[in-house]
Structure 1
Amino acid sequence: MLSVVVAPWEGEPVFVRAPDEPHDAASTMKVAVLAALHRSGADLDAEVPVVNRFVSVAGGEFANDPGWDSDPEPWALLGGTAPLRLLAERMITHSSNLATNLCLARVGHPAVAEVWRRAGATRSASPRGIEDYPARDQGVHNRVSALDLVRLLRSLAGEPELLALLERNAFRVDLAAGLPPGTRIAFKNGWSPGVRHGVGLVHPGDCPSYLLAVCYTGPLASGEDETAADPAARLLARISAAVWERRREIAR
């Protein structure tokens, strides 16, 4: 299943394909966790214990697998402490699963649900942590739609520091790979076997900024974090490149 939404920064989408189709959220839900954390008023400079035991929403506990994490830095701090700000940054810039669950434990699921509600999401929710497999086995899933991801990014309009952090995303594959080198894009991607998503705010420089969300669920997604290794990432890059070619028409 392929879902696509193209929209100006302000205004209704100009192109949609299966915009409300639900997909496994993968790491795109980390944007909602980031917003919840910043809106909570938490002291981002506070040191928090770096642990790998989390409460499952199904009861009991679960842990992250370092082999499934794309960021080794938080794991190097295991057993010590880290500033909440650092964990939030690694959650976005390097898509750390461990940092995500530490931030989520700090802010709570209701706060993340409120982020989705304020964004106007209709099909998306993040009711469990990353790798909370006991909850998943009981039918609790993190879901997103392409249209809700556009709504989520647009809801950050009054929080430029969050958009600036999204510009520092180190995984410049899929959507970013389809843009000319040096093009500014505030974005978050997510991937796992069978899933490849991306949502971004693109700043062309020669026309107004625009939003693009692409969600793909299917056999092309290898789960690799590099464009060359994941056919689905190359698909998203081609879509991003095609939208770029018509960027001047979006705001019209």
Structure 2
Amino acid sequence: MIFDELDAHLDRVPGTVSVYVGRLDAAPTWTRHPQATHYAASTMKVAVLVALHRAAEAGRLDLDSPVPVRNEFDSALPGAIRFSCAQHYDNDDAVWARVGGTATLRWLAERMIVRSSNLATNLVVDHVGLPALADVWARAGARHSVTGRGIEDFAARDAGITNLVTAADLAALLGGLARGAARPGPLAAPESCVAMLDTLAAQEHREDLAAGLPEGTRIALKNGWVRGVRHGAGVVYPDDAPPYVIVVCTTTDLADGGPGGEEVEDDACRLIADISTVVWNARHELRVAG
């Protein structure tokens, strides 16, 4: 009943609000437009993280070897000129301070998640390659999500090459990581899944899903935002109930964003926090396996 009431409330929200809520090994308890596609914003960085760890497991990359930190990247559009990131559109000056120097891929991946650095993301994508991201989505069982280009690759964007997610696909990816931490799965070895979940749990942008939880509650989280878009996707670990996946994707005028790419607490952010609170309060009633 509580989710029916929340659905009725969301019917009055302008734009599209997609939701997926469910325990790890059970069918979802509540979904709302789970297959609707949204611009991915920074939620695509979870797929980048998984691709990096898969490459390290395969011996193709060393997470702790230093790599050059530069701001010039090949476009996903064949024949387009190389592109660069704008610092004012990033969220992490620490990565920019290393331009011209080096950093380890492990450190760049951490900054990509905990501060949502776009420069760090493009550097990691440069090392793993876009086909590896497609492989991650396929292994997760995603149906509609795609990571077709790096961040601020405007030539590719203008040619229709984009990054898309759905609530169901993000739930499959996050849920796969959480299940993979306990037993071998298709995404990565258990030790890699544990490391990735720890990185996601260190997320410093906590104004949406995390804000709807009691302080100190563990959530392995990645969010994303641009003007008109606000998403939150995470695995919540209550002390008194089994873990559950919650994903809320919004494409709405309520996502006012900020000038440039900085994180701001707008109405869409507060809406996601409110949904998170409702789900937390219903955590004992979520559907169980079988």
Per the alignment, residue 161 of structure 2 pairs with 140
Matching residue within 245, 248, 252 for 2:284:
248
- Paired with 2:21 and 2:48, the residues of 1 have a C-alpha distance of 24
Aligned Cα root-mean-square deviation (Å): 1.0
On the 8 A contact 2:27/2:287 being kept in 1, the answer is no
Per the alignment, residue 12 of structure 1 pairs with 27
The reply to whether residue 173 of structure 1 matches residue 194 of structure 2 is no
Q: Which runs of 4+ in 1 moved over 2 A?
A: 224-227
Segment of structure 1 superposing worse, 229-238 or 98-107: 229-238
The reply to whether residue 25 of structure 1 matches residue 40 of structure 2 is yes
Per the alignment, residue 119 of structure 1 pairs with 140
The reply to whether residue 46 of structure 1 matches residue 80 of structure 2 is no
DSSP-derived class of the 1:182 partner: coil
On the 8 A contact 2:28/2:287 being kept in 1, the answer is no
Matching residue within 138, 148, 151 for 1:130:
151
Residue identity in the other structure for 1:110: P
DSSP-derived class of the 2:146 partner: coil
- Paired with 1:155 and 1:245, the residues of 2 have a C-alpha distance of 24
On the 8 A contact 1:149/1:199 being kept in 2, the answer is yes
Q: How far off its partner does 1:222 sit?
A: 1.6
Residue identity in the other structure for 2:269: A
Q: How far off its partner does 1:60 sit?
A: 2.0
Structure with greater Cα Rg: 2
- Paired with 1:155 and 1:55, the residues of 2 have a C-alpha distance of 31
Per the alignment, residue 155 of structure 1 pairs with 176
Residue identity in the other structure for 1:186: A
TM-score, normalised via structure 1 length: 0.97
On the 8 A contact 1:118/1:155 being kept in 2, the answer is no
Segment of structure 1 superposing worse, 218-227 or 41-50: 218-227
- Paired with 2:250 and 2:96, the residues of 1 have a C-alpha distance of 29
Residue identity in the other structure for 1:128: R
- Paired with 1:133 and 1:142, the residues of 2 have a C-alpha distance of 12
- Paired with 2:70 and 2:40, the residues of 1 have a C-alpha distance of 24
Per the alignment, residue 164 of structure 1 pairs with 198
**CA deviation profile, 1:203-225 (whole Å, cap 9, x unmatched):** 11111110000000011002245
Residue identity in the other structure for 1:31: V
Q: How far off its partner does 1:226 sit?
A: 5.2
The reply to whether residue 92 of structure 1 matches residue 113 of structure 2 is yes
Unaligned runs of 5+ in 2: 1-15, 181-192
Q: How far off its partner does 1:31 sit?
A: 0.3
Identity of aligned residues (%): 53
DSSP-derived class of the 2:245 partner: strand
Residue identity in the other structure for 2:68: P
Q: How far off its partner does 1:251 sit?
A: 3.8
Per the alignment, residue 57 of structure 1 pairs with 76
Matching residue within 193, 202, 208 for 2:227:
193
DSSP-derived class of the 2:144 partner: coil
On the 8 A contact 1:198/1:214 being kept in 2, the answer is yes
Unaligned runs of 5+ in 1: none
- Paired with 1:250 and 1:64, the residues of 2 have a C-alpha distance of 42
Segment of structure 1 superposing worse, 92-101 or 149-158: 149-158
